[in-house]
Amino acid sequence: MTITLPYRSVRLQCLYARPLHNSLLQHSSLFALPQDAHSGLARLRLLHAPSRRQLSSPSATRINHAPSLNPPSSTLPPPLVLPVRSDSQSAPSYYFSLGRAYLSFYKTGAKAVYSNWQTARSIRSRLPENTSPEQALQQGVLSRGEWQLIRRSNQDIKKVPLFVLVFMICGEFTPLVVVFMSGVVPRTCKVPKQVLKDREKAEQRRRSSFREGTITSADERMVDVEALPPDQLSHVGRSLGLYTSLLDRLGVGLPTSLLRRRVREWDGYVTVDDAAIEQYGGVERMEMEEVRIALEERGVDVLGRGDAQLQRSLQAWLRERKRVGAVRMALVRPGVWEKGG
């Protein structure tokens, strides 16, 4: 049965609401069908998460106007369309179509991991010999978009073997299992609810760490990572998610030497990324999901905040980091430095 919508024709099956083509995801979560089309049709909705602002599928609505600044949408989770059970639909048929929707989502996400890896390998082949992607970025050989693609591809490809194993064992039940194993899921295979859950956990952990005390906000000297005492080093690690929260629950932490190395690597990463953001167009030209990711990487909460507020926060970070350094800012509540300048 074919129903003509204002923007294109869509073929729907009455009992099994199949996932729609990705391009339809830019529209409302409930499609307004013609009056004579409602009879016998299962209504469809998009699974985004309670807040459309935070968890709308970035790759569905995104038109990358600044590819040198923003990495491609293939580095983000693909759209997920779930069927809504109709009154006449049996439980087995509904759960079968639900499972098919998740299988389609994970298949698309896995293909993106492989495609990104191929693209990253092609980009790496252009680099001068003995030149790292970070060095190539600073030399102008790579753009920020290309550098972030390589970085995210490296992170995702390492998670594929264990994620595939979980998927082979759990099948359609994978979404119920990976909620508790978020660290093994590639970015491109995270459903919207899992993204939301990860952000909620990270922000709760950050708030808890700040309640335990940090340095005074009046001290504006730059901080050397090597000089950080263990308690401040531990706070930075928890606030930025540099080690698993499981260690917190067990009452232990990473060895100081390993944690110090991770903080040092984070400091170097954000310093390079900050310069690249400004070089390739600034915060104003960043896609909003990229703004959220950048803030999360810098230990700033994003849930419940509007786009303009998030952009101002990242602009404040770029300004203040030059003055006091990234490590100093990680030791002070964002509300303090966001008011600066």
Average pLDDT over residues 201-205: 93
Tokens of residue 46, six digits: 């998009």
How far are the Cα atoms of 71, 123, 130, 157, 266 from residue 142, in angstroms, in the given order? 12, 8, 15, 21, 20
pLDDT at 210: 85
Q: How far apart are CA 341 and CA 338, in angstroms?
A: 8
pLDDT at 340: 59
- HSE-CB of 123 using CA atoms within 13 angstroms: 25
What are the tens digits of pLDDT across the range 161-183? 999 898 888 877 888 888 788 88
217: helix, coil or strand?
coil
- DSSP 8-state code for residue 86: -
Q: How far apart are CA 239 and CA 330, in angstroms?
A: 8
3-state secondary structure 213-257: CCCCCCCCCCCCHHHCCHHHHHHHHHHHCCCCHHHHHCCCCCCHH
Q: What single letter denotes the amino acid at residue 293?
A: I
Q: How far apart are CA 245 and CA 247, in angstroms?
A: 5
pTM greater than 0.85: no
Q: How far apart are CA 26 and CA 57, in angstroms?
A: 9
Q: How far apart are CA 315 and CA 300, in angstroms?
A: 12
The confidence band for 320, taking pLDDT boundaries of 50, 70 and 90, is very high
Is 80 exceeded by the pLDDT of residue 149? yes
Nearest Cα to Cα of residue 201 among 181, 175, 185: 181
Cα torsion 129, 135, 137, 140: sign = negative
- DSSP 8-state code for residue 68: T
Mean pLDDT of the chain: 80
Is 90 exceeded by the pLDDT of residue 266? yes
Average pLDDT over residues 317-323: 93
